[in-house]
Amino acid sequence: MIELYRCPSQTLGEAPPQTRLAVDLLMRCYLQFDGRHVLPVDGGLINQTRSFVSGCEIIDGERGRYEEMKETKREHDKLTAQRKGKVGRHGR
């Protein structure tokens, strides 16, 4: 079992080849699961390896964090644009 505690892509540069291969396989399996709802092993989530389920939790957490960061930036950009619009009107 591979124990990952952060985004798998961050571990690739510093990991031994065997771990990089395992993470690559995990990411490929995750993409199939996320995009097509295909699991690596027949059955449901209970039939999957612990490393796959844990990897999915980590990837989903990182994706959620990334989406929150994108939303925060969108809100910041929107407020900045609104402020610029107000300043532009007062300056005329």
Predicted confidence at residue 16, as pLDDT, reads 87
35-78 tens-digit pLDDT: 999 999 999 999 999 999 999 998 999 889 888 988 999 999 99
Kindly tell me if the per-residue pLDDT of 1 is higher than 50. Answer: no
Average per-residue pLDDT in the chain?
84
Q: Give CA separation, 78 vs 45, 71, 73, 83, 87, in Å.
A: 40, 10, 8, 9, 14
Global confidence as pTM: 0.68
Domain map (residue ranges) of the chain? 8-90
Kindly tell me if the per-residue pLDDT of 86 is higher than 70. Answer: yes
CA angle at 14 for the pair 12 and 20, rounded to the nearest 5°: 35
In this prediction, what percent of the chain has a pLDDT beyond 90?
46
